[in-house]
């Protein structure tokens, strides 16, 4: 799969640049005026397509309850004593977003985004479970395509229709439940547990239709650009496993400084506040009979990750990044984020690092103002 992603990026890089009216990152509407790692970034000029490929690695290590660190060993023990047989120690989430969009008018943009996920979460066993399995722990794994998002932006305000220095847009999105919520605990060393559900954080989708609405604001005073995104996501009903993920508020505030026509640096504050899981996953824990059933509250969860109360919280990341234009209409961005603040409904794993690499390309159609045919028509009308 990693070779597949690299091949796509290589093909995109070799695509010809068919427009000559755009040089550098300072386009008034296009992707170069906001960080590409944020949702809704990258709006091409009118009558142009955009393609965006974004691999992202998120690393988590250690447990938090609120803002306090938790020793995982203190949670291990006998279920009868309210303890867990296994606790998570760290997790790697690899995700690749593929987004395709089109600007239908000067003010309206629509697109679709697909996601592929690969999750790995290391688990540590209690002494009893370690004795039963002959090993100190194992790694939960899940992999596949996640939910698919339809998205659009409608520009409400601008001070110039073509090269605005101030603009504001409404963002609308709808995440469709194409990601699996049927991922099983197949890596567990005990056969009786390999058919049970993985915890919520290891599933590939939400299982519900999730609308997102928000506002996107931008301003510029060359060579500086700044702005913010404020997006709210809710869930419609519960999924087939009898639960729904918590609602989310995401906000991104950024500041950019252009150093040359094809290179800039940026700094971001990326915040997320999200709620606890509503309901409870059926077939979440294994009883004495060996059959997976919904936890009825009379026994402990086999791991804290199965407890719906151990989800949600508030975190803020500080992110630094760069954008580089290797050729006209192509942008490469690297963004690295680290947590500045985390307050989690725990115990749950805390984030330690996030790295996003984005390749962005704009593809003018014959109707675009930047297509060579359009430019030639303009020259003909002027008598050149």
Q: Any long-range contacts for 295-299 (C-beta under 8 Å, 24+ apart)? A: 299/79, 299/80
What pLDDT digit, counting tens, does each position of 86-129 carry?
A: 999 999 999 999 999 999 998 999 999 999 999 999 999 999 99
Which one, of 83, 86, 111, 87, lies nearest residue 97 by Cα? Answer: 111
What pLDDT digit, counting tens, does each position of 34-76 carry?
A: 899 988 788 888 899 999 999 999 999 999 999 999 999 999 9
C-beta atoms surrounding 278 within 10 Å: 16
| pLDDT band for position 377 (cuts 50, 70, 90) | low
**351's tokens:** 């984030």
CA distance readout (Å), 357 to 32, 228, 332 = 15, 20, 8
**How buried is 237 (Cβ within 10 angstroms: 0-12 exposed, 13-18 middle, 19+ buried)?**
exposed
- pTM over 0.95? The answer is no
pLDDT at position 274 over 90? yes
Q: Which domains does the chain have, with CATH numbers?
A: 2-361 (2.40.160.40)
- Spatial distance between the Cα atoms of 327 and 247, rounded to a whole number of angstroms: 40
């Amino acid at each position: 799969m990693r070779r597949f992603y690299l091949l796509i990026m290589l093909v995109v890089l070799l695509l010809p640049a068919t427009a000559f009216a755009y040089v550098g990152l300072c386009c008034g509407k296009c992707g170069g005026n906001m960080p590409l790692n944020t949702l809704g970034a990258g709006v091409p000029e009118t009558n142009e397509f955009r393609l965006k490929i974004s691999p992202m690695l998120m690393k988590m290590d250690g447990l938090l309850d609120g803002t306090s660190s938790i020793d995982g060993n203190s949670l291990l023990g006998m279920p009868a004593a309210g303890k867990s047989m296994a606790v998570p120690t760290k997790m790697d989430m690899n995700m690749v977003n593929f987004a395709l969009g089109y600007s239908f008018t000067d003010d309206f943009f629509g697109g679709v985004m697909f996601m592929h996920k690969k999750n790995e979460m290391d688990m540590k066993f209690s002494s009893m479970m370690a004795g039963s399995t002959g090993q100190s722990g194992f790694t939960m794994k899940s992999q596949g395509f996640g939910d698919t998002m339809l998205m659009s932006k409608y520009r409400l305000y601008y001070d110039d229709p073509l090269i605005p220095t101030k603009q504001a847009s409404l963002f609308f999105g709808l995440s469709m439940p194409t990601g699996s919520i049927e991922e099983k605990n197949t890596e567990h060393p005990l056969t009786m547990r390999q058919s049970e559900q993985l915890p919520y954080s290891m599933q590939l989708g939400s299982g519900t239709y999730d609308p997102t609405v928000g506002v996107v604001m931008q301003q510029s005073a060359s060579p500086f650009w700044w702005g913010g995104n404020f997006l709210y996501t809710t869930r419609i009903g519960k999924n087939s496993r009898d639960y729904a993920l918590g609602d989310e508020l995401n906000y991104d505030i950024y500041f950019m400084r252009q150093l040359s026509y094809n290179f800039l640096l940026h700094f971001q504050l990326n915040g997320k506040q999200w709620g606890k899981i509503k309901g409870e996953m059926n077939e979440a824990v294994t009883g004495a009979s060996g059959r997976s059933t919904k936890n009825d509250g009379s026994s402990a969860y086999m791991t804290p990750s199965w407890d719906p109360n151990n989800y949600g919280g508030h975190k803020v990341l500080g992110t630094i990044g760069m954008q580089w234009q290797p050729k006209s209409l192509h942008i490469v961005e690297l963004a690295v984020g680290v947590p500045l603040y985390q307050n989690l409904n725990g115990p749950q794993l805390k984030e330690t690092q996030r790295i996003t690499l984005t390749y962005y390309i704009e593809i003018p159609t014959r109707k675009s103002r930047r297509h060579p045919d359009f430019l030639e028509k303009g020259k003909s009308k002027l008598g050149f």
